[in-house]
Amino acid sequence: MTTTGIHTPTARRSAATAQRRPRRERQGAAWVFLSPWVLGATVLTLLPMAVSLYLSFTDYDLFNPPHWVGLRNYVQMFTEDPRYWRSVLTTLTYVVVAVPLQLALALVVALALKGMKRGKGFYRSAFYAPSLLGASMSVALVWRAVFNDGGTVDHLLGTGGWADKPGWALLAVALLTVWQFGAPMVIFLAGLQQIPAELYEAASVDGAGKWRQFVSVTVPMLSPVLFFNLVLQTIQAFQVFTPAFAISAGKGGPADSTLVYTLYLYDRGFVASHMGYASAMAWVLLLAIGAVTAVLFRTSRTWVFYASEGER
């Protein structure tokens, strides 16, 4: 235990007493302080997870006791349920469209804000606000009204309501996410401010233009932050639910075009009362997100540059 930085006599004395106490007693105290968290994590997270894993091997309609069916839910999911694959495809499409768009927009705005002399705080808050509001159902509902048949977008572009066209509805969902670029933007902004100004000076002395500076200085220096944002937003995108739910009134329509994975999971569990099947879907999603994250980490070795590596 280190007491560096604590200089009041009281603190020093209590630290000394603590050192004299047997190790086990100190552990006991630690457990007492940890207990609310441990209790919460066990009762609210670990136990339900274990139950959900068990349920995924059963047939459970909420009313009758779960009935063990082995791997049947998983087999049915992969071989007999076209709508399941439809939801997988929809979610992948969504991730591939929404995440890059969102990160690109976040980066562009962060770059613009970085160069600003005045009003930075205001704009930063203004751009961040949608992220705070975005999780709410009300915004999603407004979004639906905007993209409706007869809504604002329809009036401006005469497209006849994106939310009601199977080819466009998913894009409307993606745009809602893209619009909430505040969180990655703030992180980008922090990352950009960490890049030493000397690097840009050196680059410009070497005759590098703005674009060259961006590609050769900003991007590599920012790559850890970019990676962080990419992983975080990808994980979030796989779990998209609220906007798809709101735009399609919970049905995943029109014609299943916004039937994302979690929405179908919800449908199976709470509408069709197949809790076992829904649990199995949840576990497959967990594993899939784990796998995708692992792949991202693997590829990161080739493109993420940590400043400390250069000093080695």
Neighbours of 219 (CB within 10 A): 14
Question: Binding segment for another protein among 58-66, 118-126, 198-206, 290-298 (CB under 8 A)?
Answer: 58-66
Q: Quickly tell me which residue has 């590098």 as its tokens.
A: 208
Indicate the helix (H) or strand (E) that contains 138.
Answer: helix 137-147
Task: Give min distance, CB of 73 to another protein, in A.
Answer: 11
* H or E segment and range at residue 252: none
**Judged by CB, which is closer to another protein: 270, or 303?**
270
Supply angle C-alpha 164, 149, 137, rounded to 5.
70
Site residues (CB under 8 A) for another protein, limited to 31-50: 44, 47-48
Q: How far is the CB of 161 from another protein (least distance, A)?
A: 6
Query: Residue 135, interface with another protein (CB under 8 A)?
Result: no
In the bound complex, what is the minimum distance in angstroms from residue 237's beta carbon to another protein? 23
Return the residue matching tokens 């739910």: 245
Q: Is 148 in the site for another protein (CB under 8 A)?
A: yes
Long-range contacts of residues 148-152, Cβ cutoff 8 Å, at least 24 apart: none
Instruction: Count Cα neighbours of 54 within 13 Å in the Cβ-side half-sphere.
Output: 9
> In whole angstroms, how close is the CB of 149 to another protein at the nearest point?
5
Q: Candidates 62-70, 100-108, 120-128, 184-192 — which segment interacts with another protein by CB under 8 A?
A: 62-70
- SS3 state of residue 68: strand
Number of C-alpha atoms within 13 angstroms, CB side, residue 90? 30
Q: Based on CB atoms, which residue is closest to another protein, 91 or 148?
A: 148
The verdict on 158 binding another protein (CB under 8 A) reads no
Q: Which stretch binds another protein (CB under 8 A): 9-17, 90-98, 243-251, 287-295?
A: 243-251
In this structure, how many other beta carbons lie within 10 angstroms of the beta carbon of residue 209? 10
Please tell me the distance from the alpha carbon of residue 46 to that of residue 40, in angstroms, as a whole number: 9
Q: Do the Cβ atoms of 124 and 116 come closer than 8 Å? A: no
- From 29-37, 158-166, 170-178, 231-239, span contacting another protein (CB under 8 A): 158-166
User: x/- site string to another protein, residues 254 to 273, per CB under 8 A?
Assistant: xxx----------x--xxxx
Q: Shortest Cβ distance from residue 273 to another protein (Å)?
A: 7
Cβ 72 to another protein shortest distance, Å: 10
Dist. CA 65–CA 82, nearest whole Å: 28
Pick the closer one to another protein by CB: 52 or 213: 52
Q: Which is nearer to another protein, 86 or 114 (CB)?
A: 86
Contacting another protein within 67-126 (CB under 8 A): 82
Dist. CA 273–CA 61, nearest whole Å: 5
- What are the backbone dihedrals phi and psi of residue 68, each rounded to the nearest 5 degrees, phi first? -65, 125
Binding footprint of another protein on the chain (CB under 8 A):
44, 47-48, 51-52, 54-55, 59-66, 82, 148-150, 160-161, 164-166, 249-256, 267, 270-275
